[in-house]
Each structure stands twice: as C-alpha cells, then as structure tokens.
Structure 1
C-alpha cells in the first residue's frame, strides 16, 4: 500500500520500503537525559516509509496523515536548525544531521504511513526519525550501526527541531528486538535484551491513550531537564545517574531547593526501579513488577510533577479495577498510561476506564494490548 501511494505521487516505483516502531517504556522515565537506565520495548505499530534517491539536492516529503495531497519540497542546502516547522522538520532534520556528519546525501523522495498514535507518548516522532534515517542510510550505502542512527536522530531532534529529548526513544525504535524489552544504559548505550512474554504468564499490558496531546519541544519537559542539570551541578556530579540509591538521603540533605530535591529523588529512585524490574523479569516473575510500576507513577506525579488529571484517572481506575500495577508512560503532560493486568481482567479494566473517562467528561481513551515487536527494519 505504501509503495503504491508512492508510485501514484511520484510516478515511479520506490527503491525500498522500511518500517520503524513506536515504543512503550515499561519503566525508567526522565532518566535517559540523566545518563540513567531505561526499559522500553518496541510496539508492533510502526511508521512505514517508501523512498528513492534523488541527485539534485531536493528532498520531497509526503505523509498519508496530511490533508494536502502535494508533497512538501525542500532543498538540502537550505536546511537550517529552526528553519523547518511541523512534521516535516523531523525527516528534514535527519537529512541535515547526516549531511552535517559528513555523509553524502543528494536528495530523496519519501512517502510515509503510520499506525503509531500521534501525541500519545508512544514516540511517533521518533519512529518517523528512525525510519527516515534507516532508509537514507540504506539508500546511500552508509552502513550505519543502529546505535549510530539513534544518536543521529537525537542530534536532529535536539539541534534541528529544537526538542531537548534524551536518547531512549530513538534507540528503542532502532534497536529493540521482538519479544524483548531493551535494558539500556543511556550513558554508554550498552544494551541487554530482556525476555518479555507476558502472555505466557497469563498477563497483558494495556496501553491507555488518554488522547491528551503534548509537545516536548516547549514547556515543562525542558524545564525538568534544566532542573536536573542544575541539581547535578549543585551536587558536583556529571549527571544524576551518579547519585547511588543508598546515598540518596545524603544527597538530598545537600540541596537547599525543594524543587531540586524532588527532581533528584525521582531520578535516583526511578533508576533503582528499573534495575529491580529487570531482575524480576529475568527471574521469571513479571507479576511482581506491578507495584514498581505504580510506585513509578507516584514519583512522576508527586516529585517530577509531569502527570495530569487524565493520566491519574487512568492509573487510579486501573488499580481500583484489579490491575497489578499502572503508571503513565512517556514524557508526561498527557499521552498514555500502561496497566499490567491478568488476562481475564483485561476487558473489565478496559470497560471501567471507558466509563470513568465518560463520567469525568473526558474523551474516551483508546485502549490496546501492547506486545514487544521488532525494531526498525527493511520491508522490501
């Protein structure tokens, strides 16, 4: 289908078709830009790109999600940080970052389709970046390792788009493997793939998209990141990752600012929760992960203060209906929550969530079961 639309748009068959997934972060929120630990997995929902090379310095971009039928045309030589806006800034930023790193990119035609919900905290923008990076790497024979693609995507987003994101989402989309969560150390990018077969234990992980939108390139996300950097400087460490969990109280006592103490407490305890979840999954005990998810939400709500009424309602309703654990996932200020539930309780929890949102006057949430899919790959 994507290749067919490409041919209709551009008048010829694409050289290839690629896919990159969105992601769910099981645990480890706002730790990636603090050099900490994260545990995401790839969704089976993907952004697909059909693409071909050009040799005239032109980048043509088209998305099935846009109302306009005409591709957006950009000149590579004109690309500058902050100079492109809207969804095209993400793929344009990838082309810019590749050229800025010394790679010879001479232009491309691309068409995108996506099943990753936009604005749901499931990394739709990073799927768009990663699929573009992989397509251009393959088309121009760059042979870039997946972790390098993730780094280039982060640079594109930080510098070109202007969003101060960490490295987790890009790495998850690029590097995850099917049936596994990715235990990632964001300092050195070392990875370990942790088996995550919840169905084998009679469990489901529900994703609850509140349909409240957010934008990481402005507002609270950047404020939290700056606050973490300032707290690390005040404590004399490179990043908050360097505060050991058993020295947390000592570190907090050295900070005069209550906001700094809240940020530090969340990051340090969240890193510890990631390590605990990994240990329990490796021990074959996913049910015991539930309370750690719930504790993570409390920390994000009370210390990091990135939750919102819809996310809190989703978590509370899921827990009240029997979920083993629940928390917001993603950067916050909207987006999605996750709930770990017994297989037989999944429909009951889903129905309760829909009823609770209706009673509160909110739009109904979109709810689906998430299973770990593959990372970015070439389809044809």
Structure 2
C-alpha cells in the first residue's frame, strides 16, 4: 500500500473543497490520525493498560465558526451532500446517522460539558485516509480532529486528554458505541516515533521510543478488508461480561485483579464465559507490562512471541478473532515473522505483524498467497510508522 498523503499535503485540497462548498475560506485546517494498538486489547474499558501508536493515516478537517446555530458538516469520502444540524438542539436520541454522528456527537459533548460557544454552529469539511472498518480508529480520528478544531477556534483551553474524554463521550453516549478511551487518546496524544503507554484509569501517559528500524525490525499492519456481522453488539456483550466479572470479584475494575491473583480469581467465577473474559483481560494487562519491560531493555525482538500469545487469548478466551485474522497470524509466523496478533475490536479488521526488516517482503507475500489460496479478498499490507498525534496543519 502506498504511503498516505500527508496532512500538510492534503490541507490545501481540503481547504479548497471547503471554499467550494461554503463560499469562503476556512479559518483553519486540522488533522488527527488513526491508530494501531501493539498490545493491550479490551483492557481500556477495564481501567487497564494499552500501548497504541498513531498512524500516518489521518482525518483532515477544514473548519470555520458560525453564529446562527447551524452545524453544517460534509465528508469528501461519503458521496453525500452537506448535512445541516441544529448545534444547540443536538440530542443522542434524534440520531444524526452515519459518519455525521461523529462530528455532531463532539459538538453535543462539548455543549454538555458547558462549552456553549459551540452552539453558535460551524462549517466543517472532512476528508480521511484512515481505512474504515479496519479496526484502525477512523471514527476516533473524526472525533478528535473536530474536537481540536473547535477547541482552538473557541479558545476553550482543553488539554489533549480532556479532548480524548470528550471524544469518547461522543462515541459512547451520542453514537452509541461503548468503547474505552484508548482510540481517542492515541489520536489526540501520540508522539512521532513513539508508542503511547496509557493507564486508562487516570490517563497518565508515557511516550515510549519505538525506533524498530534501528534494530532491523518492522511492524506491518495487515488489513483483512473484512468485517463480520458477528461483531454487531459483541463488543458491548464482552464489556458487560467483564463488568460482571469485576462485580463477582468485588473489585472496581478487572485492572485491580493482579496477575499473581489470577488463578484464585478464576476459581471464584462460576460462569465459564465470564471466567474466560477475566483471564484474557488480566493476562493482557500483564502482556503490556512484559512488552514495556522488553522495550525498556532494548529487546524488541522478544515482543514477537508476546503478540502471538495475545492473539491466542483473543481468539480462544475472548472469541473476537475471525478466520481471516487467524490466517494472517498463521501464515506470517510460518513465513518467519517474530510474532503477530489481531488488533482492535476483532471479527475482521486488522492484524499487526513484527518482522525482521529483511523478511517483510517475504512475510507479506506469504500472507497474500494464503489469502488467495483461501479465496479471500487480497489484504492491504503497510508498515506501521509511529506518527504524530492531532495538530493544526494550516
């Protein structure tokens, strides 16, 4: 896959599109990236730990303020016309459907948080290079780019973690997806050349240097280009199961079940499904800890088996994998990858593969050949380059 157009390169096109749509130049152009998560899956809504990185793929927004209360939003990628909404009257139950729910949800969340300046309205023109349906947080990129633009234009003074929380609230309460805060935080707070170690309980961050090329390594993203209907509602079911496990164990969240206590905790759980969910979450928090320790020791190669171990847990305990994701892991590891796992919510979407730089081409071909032999649509494979978080680009 070719490298995406940079936000700086696309800012002019988005600004010109804005001018054609609305009849005047925008007040500014902003960008926010998608993300891929190295390790720590389904842990963020359990107050746990995650290690994502921002991708070079971004949502770009040209934005201007209005004073008549109208929120006009347009996506260059949707094939639809301008959607016009009442900024002061937005309500989740009214349902601004499809892609428009994400910018509308951000305006609603800002208004509900007391930032009434946004009720004056805005003109927004969006374009995105973040693949949709690939588990790479295209929705969080939309939320954060709009939140940052309105924060800057209205001088709201909100921090990046605060913008992430607002984006999460928009997705939870307005769009109706019970996601954790990892995706929005990665988009808002990531740093170029780094992983982001995030404690999702207190939002404390650590930027972790992640220069794989210096160690002769590469991280590939394999977008399977499939999304199975089984995923509809399954995320919420797993969240409910994890919360049931925390209640049964008498803890605030599963992050409070230490790894050393896991066997004892599992013995106390009667429901086998809940038991499996708890085992995954607690062990994946431990995998984040192990990954951090390996990276701190300069041994990124040893992270490979941790990734594969995480995939097995997601496949068998959480049951959120898919045949295409399992095939990526199997084919990549058989071709010499150091390790691989599905990433994101699952049931399709993407996997990450850690390889020696010299093996990247052979591993990519092995995965493509395996997909062809299975009769699957050809996957989209590209390097995960740790990139900058949300920013103003013009």
TM-score class, shorter: over 0.9
The reply to whether residue 78 of structure 1 matches residue 89 of structure 2 is yes
More helix by share: 2
> Does the aligned pair in 1 maintain the 2:222–2:351 contact within 8 Å?
yes
* 1:283, distance to aligned residue in structure 2 (A): 1.2
Alignment: residue pair count? 379
- Equivalent-residue separation in structure 2 for 1:227 and 1:5 (angstroms): 45
The reply to whether residue 5 of structure 1 matches residue 17 of structure 2 is yes
The reply to whether residue 165 of structure 1 matches residue 179 of structure 2 is yes
The reply to whether residue 236 of structure 1 matches residue 250 of structure 2 is yes
- Equivalent-residue separation in structure 2 for 1:363 and 1:143 (angstroms): 46
- Equivalent-residue separation in structure 2 for 1:318 and 1:217 (angstroms): 24
The reply to whether residue 41 of structure 1 matches residue 53 of structure 2 is yes
SS of the residue aligned with 2:221?
strand
Stretches of 4+ aligned residues off by more than 2 angstroms: 213-218
- Equivalent-residue separation in structure 2 for 1:242 and 1:174 (angstroms): 27
What is the aligned partner in structure 1 of residue 296 from structure 2? Answer: 282
- Alignment partner of 2:72 out of 51, 60, 69: 60
Gaps of 5+ in 2: 1-12
* 1:217, distance to aligned residue in structure 2 (A): 8.9
* 1:9, distance to aligned residue in structure 2 (A): 0.8
SS of the residue aligned with 1:48?
strand
The reply to whether residue 339 of structure 1 matches residue 350 of structure 2 is no
Deviations 1:82-133 (A, max 9, x none): 3211000010000000001110211100111111000100000000000010
SS of the residue aligned with 1:212?
strand
Supply the RMSD in Å over aligned alpha carbons.
Answer: 1.1
- Alignment partner of 2:193 out of 179, 182, 202: 179
- Equivalent-residue separation in structure 1 for 2:392 and 2:291 (angstroms): 32
Gaps of 5+ in 1: none
* 1:4, distance to aligned residue in structure 2 (A): 0.8
SS of the residue aligned with 1:88?
helix
The reply to whether residue 29 of structure 1 matches residue 30 of structure 2 is no
- Equivalent-residue separation in structure 2 for 1:203 and 1:84 (angstroms): 44
SS of the residue aligned with 1:335?
strand
- Equivalent-residue separation in structure 1 for 2:225 and 2:72 (angstroms): 30
The alignment's TM-score, normalised by the length of structure 2, stands at: 0.95
The alignment's TM-score, normalised by the length of structure 1, stands at: 0.98
